[in-house]
Amino acid sequence: MVGGKRKGFSSHRKMIFQRKYRFLNIQDSWRYIWIVIGISVTLCSFFICKNDSDLVSVKVRFQNRAWAEPVKVEQRLPGIPGLTAKDCGSCHEEHYQEWKVSTHANAFTDLQFQAELSKPNSPQWLCLNCHIPLSGQRKEIATHLKDGDVFQPVLVPNKKFNAQWEKEGISCGTCHLKSDSEGNTILIGPTGANAPHPVEKNREALHARCNDCHNQDYKLNMSLVCYFKTGDEYKESIHFPKEDCVSCHMPSINRSVVLSSFNKEKRNSHRHTFIGSGVPKTFELFDAQWKGYQSGLKVEEPRWSFIKNENARLNLTIENSFAGHSVPTGDPERHLLIEAVLQSSNGKEIARKVQKIGQSWKWYPEAKLVDDNRILSGEKRKLVLNLKIDRDSLPAFGILRILHVRLTKENAEHMRKNAKNAPSEIGEKLKQIEKHYPYSNVFYESKTDLKTGKIRLTSKSDLLSASKRGNL
């Protein structure tokens, strides 16, 4: 009896256990599957939430920086077919043709920029925020950074990406489009004139837009800095506050701002060629960009003299009287080269002296500005270059040449070596960079007859021809 009762009790407990914990019966395969799914979801949720807590919004990471993210714009506005420069050009044809030959239009296709993008350590998404700054130009948009690291962006595919818009670089919309607090796209202009499309008058925003890219100082890591101080230089210039960037780089002319078929009266309108240093992004652009080009420097007549027949001396005075910023400005590696050359009567070079004017940086292991001897706005500087000559040499001519250098031969070689990392079409051009990309221009040249003291200045057309040949 006792044995029977124990047996019965044991069976009863077993039944209760099976009913109560039946969902754990791994013999029922579908229940086992649900258990695995439940555990997986729980674990995934844990890790996702954990990882989310490590993400930093780009807005938070780069507070109050216009280049933190692209400008969010729609694909179109009422009254116009689209927002690309080509779309704008269907009515504003002259402005469009001017923009097409500008440096801004080549901001994305620029070979030097593309070479930088191809470097393994390049924070591509961030660089693109200045070179193609509208949302419709971007294949992917960075919204967050893992642990706030610029090299670990969370990239979201952009369904509204426009490949044509991407190639336009700094397009019309870069300055004329903005997004309000509610995400609406607004087109702004200097006058708010009546047009087939809505336009809001905001001249101040247009004139201030330059500084969003051209006045930035930010250190991303030990060896990677963004250093463009043109806006700050302007505030210390002789032209502040009477004139601004637009005054020189977008001079105003009287013309119709739309096609003649609109029968609109002429009015003052800014040119959109954005003339700058006179060193374009391709050799083909030299002619267009030199039409309105003028150096910011005033160069006085060079004075040559001899000391004890073994040394020649060039005394030179240059003045930054036209530019509202230092010369040169912008890219830290831009500089001027002052070349003093002595020639014999048959054109043979006897002696040469070169002086650099620009910034000097130490890039590794930590980026650091070592020296800066650029010419400040309004500054008048006297230069002395001494050239040693042999006693038996008989120099007949003294030549002074001034170059604006954007790319050194040394850096060009780095670009050439990096060609393998670039897209094939870009890479092929980088392999022969000297054929596609101007390193510099020569904007001043004089030849002094050392016997008579007569000075001959090289014409602008001849300077242009020399610059277009390259190999300066």
Q: What is the 3-state secondary structure (H, E, C) of the chain?
A: CHHHHHHHHHHHHHHHHHHHCHHHCCCCHHHHHHHHHHHHHHHHHHHHHHHHCCEEEHHHHCCCCHHHCCECCCCCCCCCCCCCHHHHHCCCHHHHHHHHCCCHHHCCCCHHHHHHHCCCCCCHHHHHHHHCCEHHHCCEEEEEEECCCCCCEEEEECCCCCHHHHHCCCCHHHHHEEECCCCCEEEEECCCCCCCCCCEECHHHHHHCCHHHHEEEEEEECCEEEEEEHHHHHHCCCCCCCCCHHHHHCCEEEECCCCHHHCCCCEEEECCCCCCCCCCCCHHHHHHHCCCCCCCEEECCCEEEEECCCEEEEEEEEEECCCCCCECCCCCCCEEEEEEEEECCCCCEEEEEEEEEEEEEECCCCCEEEEECCECCCCEEEEEEEEECCCCCCCCEEEEEEEEECCCHHHHHHHHHHHHHCCHHHHHHHHCHHHHCCCEEEEEEEEEECCCCCEEECCHHHHHHHHHHCCC
C-alpha 168/C-alpha 164 separation (Å) is: 7
Q: How far is CA 103 from CA 24, 131, 373, in A?
A: 70, 11, 26
Q: Considering the entire predicted model, what is its pTM?
A: 0.86
What value, to the nearest 5°, has the Cα angle with vertex 290 and ends 287 and 293? 170
For the chain, 472 residues long, give each residue's pLDDT as a single digit of tens: 334 434 444 455 545 445 544 444 544 565 666 566 666 655 554 455 445 559 999 999 999 999 999 999 987 899 888 999 999 999 999 999 999 999 999 999 999 999 999 998 899 999 999 999 999 999 999 999 999 999 999 999 999 999 999 999 999 999 999 988 888 899 999 998 888 899 999 999 999 999 999 999 999 988 889 999 999 999 999 999 999 999 999 999 999 999 999 999 999 999 999 999 999 999 999 999 999 899 999 999 999 999 877 799 999 999 999 999 999 999 999 999 999 999 999 999 999 999 999 999 998 899 999 999 999 999 999 999 999 998 888 899 999 999 999 999 999 999 999 899 999 999 999 999 999 999 999 999 999 999 999 999 999 999 999 999 998 8
Q: What does the buried/exposed string (b/e) look like for 296-315 if buried means 16 or more CB atoms within 10 Å of the residue's CB?
A: bbebeebebeeeeeeebbbe
Residue 471: closest CA among 429, 446, 444, 438? 438
pLDDT at 75: 77
C-alpha 306/C-alpha 328 separation (Å) is: 31
pLDDT at 2: 38
pLDDT at 43: 56
pLDDT at 391: 80
pLDDT at 44: 54
C-alpha 84/C-alpha 82 separation (Å) is: 6
What is the DSSP pairing of strand 140-146 with strand 349-362?
A: unpaired
C-alpha 309/C-alpha 49 separation (Å) is: 81
pLDDT at 30: 57
